[in-house]
Each structure stands twice: as C-alpha cells, then as structure tokens.
C-alpha cells in the first residue's frame, strides 16, 4: 500500500523551482517558443508568413522539437503521478489530542 | 505524428527554403492559418511537402514502377551539375581520381546523412565531372511500396542536399579562383 505524507508533499511542491520553459540567453529558441509553440499549443492559429526566419536557425527548430518531446514526456509523467494521488484512500490516524 | 510535431517539421522545411532563397515555392502554405485543433487539415501540409520535393531542384521527374513496386524521383539542378564540374577541376589540379575526390565522397555522405532514415527509402547519386548533357548529374530517390515513410523527411533531405551543393559550389569557386590567382 502506498503512503503519502501530505504535509511533506506540499512542502516539496512549494520548494520546487519555478518552471522556466526556455532558459534565458537563447534568443532563437525563445522566439520560436513565443511566436510558434505557445499559440499553436493553445489552439490558436499561426501563419508561417508571420515568422521572421532570420531570427532563428535550423538548430533552434531542432531544439524546439527536443523541448516538445521532453515536455510531452514530463506531462505524461505528471498526469500519472496525479492519477496515483487521486486514487489514494485516506487513512485514519491516531490523533494525540483527542 | 501529432499536429504540433508536424508543424515543427514544417517550420524546419520552410526555414530551409528561406535559407536557399526558394520560399516562394510554398507561398500558398505561408498565407494559410495553421491550427492544431481537434481535426487539423493535413492536406495543405502534404501539398507543401510534395511541392518542395518536386520544385527545389530545377529538373524533377517522378515515376512509379508497378512491376518493381517502387517510386523513383530523379532530381537535378545547375548547382548540382556545377558542383561535380568544380569538384572534377579540384581533383584534376591535385591528381586525385573521382573515387578518391573528397568532394565527391562528401556528397555521398551528405545524402546518406539525410536519406538514411528508413529501410524503405534508398538513394543514388550520379555525379559527372564532365557532363555530356544538361542535368546529367542527378540525385535519385527510391521509395519502396509498403513503407511508412514520412515524406516531410524526404523534403527536408532534398532541401538539405540543395543547400549542400549551393554552399559547396561557393566554397569550390573561391578555392579554385584563389589557386588560379596564386599560380
């Protein structure tokens, strides 16, 4: 049986580093993330004509693909953890002050 | 393949076309709104992919061989023809045979790098250092029946080969004219 200490879980979540999609200083990848990835993953339309092809390299497009693969894998892992947590049964504990 | 991944590949191809100065080939795609909603329309993407394969090189033919169950695409362009002529001059000046010519070997390696992603895909390069007719040097791409080849990979490979010939022609011209000047 899996046991989860809710207090410790909440502490771990609050101590986790803020999520940063793209590291600073990666101009080409950041441009693609903002101009292509964010709208397209939110279901918004994108016109390829609107992209500035001088602001990124082919390597940046490959990096965006890697980011998408990693992000998809992490989302899958997170949804598995979430499912596990939701399926846990509450356990009765002896409380000293009662 | 999911829609977002496909759009990323498509942007890769469009960037390649931009870099080789052939963006106008897929103007119809550039103006169309692309969305990854529940049922994306892939038709326009495939149109762009086949338009790129058929038009990046100036000469292009595609034929299906029913008896042998494969489709053959043959491509050629002035940059490819010039590349082998220049490579031949480079070899002659150094007394190197075509088989040992590093530029001829490089072109084979470049094709292998871009087209070796499926067992159902094969390629051949016929490069002539002394061409006998227009578009004599050719790149042949063979796609066997029953394979599950993503054609955007082929389009990306074709664009990469064009860029390779384009860049290397400049490199060889610079090298040969520098040597001619020094002589």
Selecting from A43, A51, A53 the residue whose C-beta is nearest the C-beta of B36 gives A43
pLDDT of residue A85: 83
Q: Is the pLDDT of residue B40 over 70?
A: no
B5 touches chain A (CB under 8 A): yes
Q: Contacts of residue B11 in chain A, CB cutoff 8 Å? A: 32, 36, 48, 51, 61
The C-alpha atoms of residue B91 and residue B166 are separated, in whole angstroms, by 19
SS3 A60: helix
Q: Contacts of residue A56 in chain B, CB cutoff 8 Å? A: 15
Interchain pair B31, A58: CB under 8 A: no
Confidence at B59, pLDDT banded by 50, 70, 90: very high
pLDDT tens profile B117-157: 899 999 999 999 999 999 999 999 999 987 788 899 999 99
The C-alpha atoms of residue A22 and residue A73 are separated, in whole angstroms, by 16
Q: Contacts of residue A53 in chain B, CB cutoff 8 Å? A: 14-15, 18-19, 23
pLDDT of residue A55: 95
- ipTM of this model? 0.85
pLDDT tens profile A53-66: 999 999 999 999 99
pLDDT tens profile B79-100: 999 999 999 999 999 999 999 9
Interchain pair A43, B32: CB under 8 A: no
B90-111: burial string, b at 16+ Cβ within 10 Å, e else? bbeeeebebeebebbeebeebb
B1 touches chain A (CB under 8 A): no
B142-165: burial string, b at 16+ Cβ within 10 Å, e else? bbeeeeeeeebbbbbbbbbbbbbb
């Amino acid at each position: 049986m899996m046991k989860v200490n809710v207090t410790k879980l909440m502490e771990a979540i609050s101590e986790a580093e803020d999520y940063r999609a793209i590291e600073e200083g990666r101009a080409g990848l950041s441009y693609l993330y903002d101009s292509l990835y964010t709208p397209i993953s939110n279901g918004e339309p994108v016109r390829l004509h609107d992209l500035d092809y001088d602001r990124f390299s082919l390597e940046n497009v490959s990096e965006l693909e890697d980011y998408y693969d990693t992000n998809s894998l992490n989302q899958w892992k997170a949804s598995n953890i979430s499912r596990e947590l939701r399926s846990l049964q509450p356990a009765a504990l002896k409380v000293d002050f009662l | 393949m999911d829609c977002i991944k496909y759009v990323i590949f498509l942007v890769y191809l469009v960037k390649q076309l931009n870099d080789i100065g052939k963006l106008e080939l897929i103007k119809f795609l550039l103006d169309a709104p692309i969305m990854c909603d529940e049922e994306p329309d892939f038709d326009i993407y495939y149109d762009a992919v086949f338009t790129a394969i058929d038009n990046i090189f100036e000469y292009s033919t595609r034929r299906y061989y029913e008896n042998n169950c494969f489709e053959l695409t043959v491509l050629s362009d002035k940059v490819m023809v010039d590349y082998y002529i220049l490579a031949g001059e480079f070899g002659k000046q150094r007394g190197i045979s075509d088989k040992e010519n590093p530029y001829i070997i490089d072109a084979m390696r470049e094709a292998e790098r871009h087209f070796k992603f499926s067992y159902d895909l094969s390629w051949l390069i016929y490069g002539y250092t002394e061409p006998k007719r227009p578009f004599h040097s050719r790149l042949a791409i063979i796609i066997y029946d029953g394979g599950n080849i993503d054609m955007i990979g082929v389009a990306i490979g074709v664009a990469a080969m064009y860029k390779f010939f384009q860049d290397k022609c400049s490199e060889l011209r610079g090298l040969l004219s520098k040597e001619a000047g020094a002589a």
